[in-house]
Amino acid sequence: MENKRLQKLSVAALLISILPLATFVPTLFNTALADNLRSIWAGANIFSVFGGLILSIICVKNRDSRSMINIISTIVSSSWIVLMCGIVILSLFINFMQ
């Protein structure tokens, strides 16, 4: 029972980790979003990245439920966090250089 629950949790972690890729959907349709909507979208992306990372770490921490899906979702979430940190550091660097 515990293993089946963690397996569902690992699939949810993978889907939540991949959710920020939905940001590219408006770009495909050449749609410009309003500033408020972009801010909400960015907040949802940040929330989903951290949520996916937390869920995937919970699943990977248990040796019995460790699988390829868990490892992939951890890698994807970690990559998103590294990308977000790089963007923040670059924007701070550019603002301080001006």
Confidence of residue 90 (pLDDT cuts 50, 70, 90): very high
pLDDT digits (tens, 9 = 90+) for 12-64: 888 898 888 888 888 788 888 888 888 898 899 899 999 989 988 888 887 77
Burial class (CB in 10 A: 0-12, 13-18, 19+), 12: middle
pLDDT digits (tens, 9 = 90+) for 61-75: 877 777 888 888 889
3-state class percentages of the chain: helix first, strand second, coil last, to nearest 5: 90, 0, 10
